[in-house]
A and B are shown apart, each in its own frame.
Chain A
Amino acid sequence: MIHSIIKRDGRIVLYDQNKIAAAILRALEAASEGDAADAARVANAVQSALQAQFRETPPNIEDIQDQVEKQLMNHGFNNAAKAYILYRANRTRAREANTSLMKTIDEITNIDARASDMKRDNANIDGNTAMGSMLQIGSAGAKAYNEMYLLRPEHAQAYREGDIHIHDFDFYSLTTTCCQIDILKLFHGGFSTGHGYLREPKSIQSYAALAAIAIQSNQNDQHGGQSIPNFDYAMAEGVAKTYRKAFARTLANAVEDFLDQEDLAERVRKIVVQAETEAGEGPKLENYTQFDPAMNANLCRALCLTESDAARLIARARRRAWRITEADTFQAMEGFVHNLNTMHSRAGAQTPFSSINYGTDASAEGRMVIRNILLALDAGLGHGETCIFPIHIFKVKEGVNYNAEDPNYDLFRLSCKVSARRLFPNYVFLDAPYNLQYYVPGRPETEVATMGCRTRVMGNVYDPTRQIAYSRGNLSFTSINLPRLALESQGDEKVFYEKLENMLNLVAQQLLDRFEIQAGKHVYNFPFLMGQNVWLDADKLTVQDDLREVLKHGTLSIGFIGLAETLTALYGAHHGESAAMQEKGLAIVSFMRKFCDQISQAHKMNFTLLATPAEGLAGRFIRMDQKRYGKMPGITDREYYTNSFHIPVWYPISAYDKIRLEAPYHALCNAGHISYVELDGDTAKNVEAFEAVVRWMHDAGVGYGSINHPVDRDPVCGYVGVIGDVCPRCGRREGDRIPADRIDELRKLYPEMPAFQGIQ
């Protein structure tokens, strides 16, 4: 007789046949076979078999489950037996996941981030801090749950084994990636952060401060970075408001001085308002043809001035107001940059990932914004540090800022100078044909903007009347391990394409599954993104509505990594090495793009092709492939797969050729793309050379590009530039101290030198 059994943890407990019968009944029900009486019969058979088998020692759980499988089959319940086996396998996987989850949490808790690659997966989360660790523990738990309960088994397997990478997998069930925040729409009439209501801002300082708050608020609703597509156009309104106030004030001062009177401020303000009403426009930085005559007439009438005296006072007020506004704008931009580098989101674990796009607003106000944000970026942080956030993106457009005769050409030049020192801005090229097709002059929402990292949202299959950058973003993305497919195909091109098509179908289905979860959310799940109408058409939603329809404005993106290694595996060389390989590379990427376009039409949703970045992910894939295939030269012999369609970083090639070869892939990767050129420090300092590279990118049809060059800093003397072994300013080597007498000398030469605790 069986009296007891051994549990998995080794404890011995009483044998209970009812539990076995219940488990068998569940399997029968799952397979739509048999009933409770059948379950009891099978359970009896299990018990008899166990009694025969275990006379001395009690059976353990696995023994019992083996018998259940066997007896289900003996009784002809083959489908139920299958269901039971599947159930057992899932439970085993869940237990293993639990164990591995605990191990992961143990690593997060006990190991220094410097020694843990896992803890450095996201470089902007400090895995050594309390909040950073808490975020990582939550993330590990969510991943374990999502894999176990939310993924189809075939998706879970593909993810686990490194055929695909599901990005931001920890947020699988929770939110979407990112959004281009139309900051003007948000500001008009004011908005709420969820913790308090903010009135419509009235000066450039408030515009800039609220822009940072908007990014921070939205970052708490989504898992990706956040971007402002219209930074110049939006901040220009703040500049206009500051100028208007400054003009009324400086005019009052000028009038008071001229008439040798005090207390005229309120009276002059009313005269300005009267002039505004008559002219139908307020004082602006430029083009004040309506306002000035009205202002002059009203000033003369109200204060008995001559026309020429009034004109002189107005001109003086204008000059002073301009200076005040310029200074306020610089301070506002400096504050904005400082805010975005110091403020925290996500329980304090992260600085918000933020991007701003600008460059095309040619109004005097817009130009003032662009000039000053560039100057603030150039100035750096408190000790002259290079700002990590926001990512600055300069929009390049012929007729606006690309040619010498264009109104903002001077600002484009300034951007090159700043980028040559500070690595930002990056450049987005509105003249590339696939960007130009959306461009409508005078409608900034039709200008392509990027999320900084690279994500781009423009085309709209769901609603072709809304092909705009504003108020939209990516919903989720999953990347394909392209070299794996090539290695599995063993040089057979036909097999490779079959495998690729299967994988594309698998990823599309997985993205749709994830969309189903996202679509079931409500406005209250996104108090800022949806509650404040940041997302397109969110204002049409009621409390009861789910987000399905409005989310369709976003994109589902299929990414890929390692085109270079794929080509080498299939054909023996990569696309930097020959024109034939470039053709093969373009064929593969075109195939993927065509798939995305077709499935977009089939679902009337925006499936787009992404040139995946993420060297971290590239490391994950290649480690698994090295285990399977060993270190194959040019394919798996490094620690990372090459970023998307890039020419490998280690391959010697000229800047011009790299741009020329990578540009055609930008046209194909409509979910986002970026090309880098690496310059040495001296070349980067040469603004002419720097600008030439940007112009090559523009002319070659690159969509988004940036120029990398070393930016080093000695925190002791504050020097920013290229540092080899020895700091060119203070002459010390890394880790060495500066001779005491050298410090005073240096401080005289460089007053901006950082101050240190205990020294001043």
Chain B
Amino acid sequence: MTMKQANEKLGQGVGFERIRRITGYLVGTMDKWNDAKRAEERDRVKHGLK
């Protein structure tokens, strides 16, 4: 692949990484989380500072 071709495709199919804390540990991305952990993360609400 030439530099030009590579540049044109840069980013294609590449997702964002979303790092979250679960059970005390950080996990690089959520791909490897089990279903219950994903559900818990999805349900979290933010806590206001009053």
Real complex partners, A and B?
Answer: yes
**A residues lining the B interface (CB < 8 Å):** 113-114, 117, 120-121, 123-124, 126-127, 353, 385-386, 388, 391, 423-424, 426, 452-454, 613-616, 618-620, 622, 638-640, 643, 649-656, 658, 674, 676-680, 683, 689, 692-693, 706, 708, 710-716, 723, 727, 730, 732, 734-738, 740, 743, 756-759
In order of increasing CB-CB distance, the 10 nearest A-B pairs are A619-B36, A453-B24, A639-B39, A613-B23, A655-B47, A758-B6, A737-B11, A737-B12, A640-B36, A650-B43
Say whether A655 contacts B49, CB under 8 Å: yes
Say whether A712 contacts B43, CB under 8 Å: no
Quick one: which of B1-50 are within 8 Å of A by CB? 1, 3-4, 6-28, 31-37, 39-40, 43-50
Q: Which of B4, B8, B12, B18 is A712 in contact with, Cβ under 8 Å?
A: B18
Say whether A639 contacts B49, CB under 8 Å: no
What is the bound-complex CA distance between A738 and B6, given in angstroms? 11
What is the bound-complex CA distance between A638 and B35, given in angstroms? 11
Say whether B21 contacts A638, CB under 8 Å: no
What is the bound-complex CA distance between A723 and B18, given in angstroms? 9
Say whether B45 contacts A452, CB under 8 Å: no
Say whether A353 contacts B25, CB under 8 Å: yes
What is the bound-complex CA distance between A619 and B14, given in angstroms? 30
Say whether B31 contacts A759, CB under 8 Å: no
Say whether B16 contacts A712, CB under 8 Å: yes
8 example contacts (A-B, Cβ-Cβ < 8 A) are as follows A124-B27, A619-B39, A639-B35, A639-B36, A649-B45, A689-B49, A712-B19, A736-B12
- Chain A residues contacting B24 (CB-CB under 8 Å) are 391, 426, 452-454, 613, 674
Most buried by B among A124, A424, A649, A714: A649
Say whether B36 contacts A452, CB under 8 Å: no
- Give, as a whole number of angstroms, the nearest-CB distance from B5 to chain A: 8
Say whether A654 contacts B45, CB under 8 Å: no
Say whether A453 contacts B44, CB under 8 Å: no
User: Nearest residue in B to A725 (C-beta to C-beta)?
Assistant: B16
User: Nearest residue in B to A696 (C-beta to C-beta)?
Assistant: B49
Q: Is the interface of A mostly helix, strand, loop or mixed?
A: loop
Say whether A654 contacts B21, CB under 8 Å: no
- Give, as a whole number of angstroms, the nearest-CB distance from B14 to chain A: 5
User: Nearest residue in B to A693 (C-beta to C-beta)?
Assistant: B49
- Chain B residues contacting A677 (CB-CB under 8 Å) are 47
- Chain A residues contacting B43 (CB-CB under 8 Å) are 638, 649-650
- Give, as a whole number of angstroms, the nearest-CB distance from B12 to chain A: 4
- Chain A residues contacting B9 (CB-CB under 8 Å) are 737
- Chain A residues contacting B11 (CB-CB under 8 Å) are 716, 730, 732, 735-738
Say whether B21 contacts A708, CB under 8 Å: yes
Say whether A619 contacts B37, CB under 8 Å: yes
What is the bound-complex CA distance between A658 and B28, given in angstroms? 27
Say whether A756 contacts B36, CB under 8 Å: no
- Give, as a whole number of angstroms, the nearest-CB distance from A329 to chain B: 24
What is the bound-complex CA distance between A454 and B13, given in angstroms? 37
Say whether A649 contacts B40, CB under 8 Å: yes
- Chain B residues contacting A689 (CB-CB under 8 Å) are 49
With contact pairs A649-B44, A654-B49, A740-B7 given, residues A391 and B36 touching in the complex (Cβ less than 8 Å): no
Q: Which of B6, B20, B33, B37 is A759 in contact with, Cβ under 8 Å?
A: B6
What is the bound-complex CA distance between A713 and B29, given in angstroms? 10
With contact pairs A124-B25, A452-B25, A759-B7 given, residues A117 and B47 touching in the complex (Cβ less than 8 Å): no
Q: Which of B6, B17, B32 is A715 in contact with, Cβ under 8 Å?
A: B17
With contact pairs A423-B26, A715-B17, A727-B16 given, residues A759 and B3 touching in the complex (Cβ less than 8 Å): yes
Q: Which of A353, A639, A734 is B15 in contact with, Cβ under 8 Å?
A: A734
What is the bound-complex CA distance between A477 and B25, given in angstroms? 18
- Chain B residues contacting A708 (CB-CB under 8 Å) are 20-21, 44
User: Nearest residue in B to A724 (C-beta to C-beta)?
Assistant: B16
Known pairs A424-B26, A649-B44, A706-B21 / 10 extra A-B pairs, C-beta < 8 Å: A120-B33, A388-B25, A454-B24, A615-B34, A650-B44, A655-B47, A693-B49, A710-B20, A713-B16, A738-B11
- Chain B residues contacting A353 (CB-CB under 8 Å) are 25
User: Nearest residue in B to A642 (C-beta to C-beta)?
Assistant: B40
Say whether B31 contacts A114, CB under 8 Å: yes
With contact pairs A121-B34, A653-B47, A678-B45 given, residues A614 and B7 touching in the complex (Cβ less than 8 Å): no
Say whether A386 contacts B25, CB under 8 Å: no
- Give, as a whole number of angstroms, the nearest-CB distance from A602 to chain B: 31
What is the bound-complex CA distance between A735 and B17, given in angstroms? 11
User: Nearest residue in B to A740 (C-beta to C-beta)?
Assistant: B7
What is the bound-complex CA distance between A88 and B35, given in angstroms? 37
User: Nearest residue in A to B35 (C-beta to C-beta)?
Assistant: A117
- Chain B residues contacting A716 (CB-CB under 8 Å) are 10-11, 14
Q: Which of A114, A454, A740 is B4 in contact with, Cβ under 8 Å?
A: A740
- Chain B residues contacting A706 (CB-CB under 8 Å) are 21
With contact pairs A114-B31, A736-B11 given, residues A453 and B23 touching in the complex (Cβ less than 8 Å): yes
What is the bound-complex CA distance between A150 and B45, given in angstroms? 43
- Chain B residues contacting A743 (CB-CB under 8 Å) are 7, 10
With contact pairs A656-B50, A658-B47 given, residues A713 and B17 touching in the complex (Cβ less than 8 Å): yes
What is the bound-complex CA distance between A177 and B27, given in angstroms? 21
What is the bound-complex CA distance between A622 and B32, given in angstroms? 21
Say whether B21 contacts A710, CB under 8 Å: no
- Chain A residues contacting B20 (CB-CB under 8 Å) are 708, 710-711
User: Nearest residue in A to B48 (C-beta to C-beta)?
Assistant: A654
- Give, as a whole number of angstroms, the nearest-CB distance from A726 to chain B: 10
Say whether B18 contacts A710, CB under 8 Å: yes
What is the bound-complex CA distance between A622 and B8, given in angstroms? 48
- Give, as a whole number of angstroms, the nearest-CB distance from B8 to chain A: 5
What is the bound-complex CA distance between A454 and B19, given in angstroms? 19
- Give, as a whole number of angstroms, the nearest-CB distance from B7 to chain A: 5
- Chain B residues contacting A683 (CB-CB under 8 Å) are 49
- Chain B residues contacting A656 (CB-CB under 8 Å) are 49-50
Say whether B35 contacts A388, CB under 8 Å: no
- Give, as a whole number of angstroms, the nearest-CB distance from B4 to chain A: 7
Q: Which of A391, A454, A654, A715 is B14 in contact with, Cβ under 8 Å?
A: A715
With contact pairs A713-B19, A734-B15 given, residues A679 and B47 touching in the complex (Cβ less than 8 Å): yes
- Give, as a whole number of angstroms, the nearest-CB distance from A575 to chain B: 16
- Give, as a whole number of angstroms, the nearest-CB distance from A445 to chain B: 23
- Chain A residues contacting B7 (CB-CB under 8 Å) are 740, 743, 759
- Give, as a whole number of angstroms, the nearest-CB distance from A646 to chain B: 10
Say whether B8 contacts A737, CB under 8 Å: yes
Say whether A740 contacts B8, CB under 8 Å: yes
Say whether B17 contacts A615, CB under 8 Å: no
User: Nearest residue in A to B23 (C-beta to C-beta)?
Assistant: A613
With contact pairs A386-B26, A655-B47 given, residues A616 and B18 touching in the complex (Cβ less than 8 Å): no
Say whether B21 contacts A712, CB under 8 Å: no
- Chain B residues contacting A734 (CB-CB under 8 Å) are 15-16
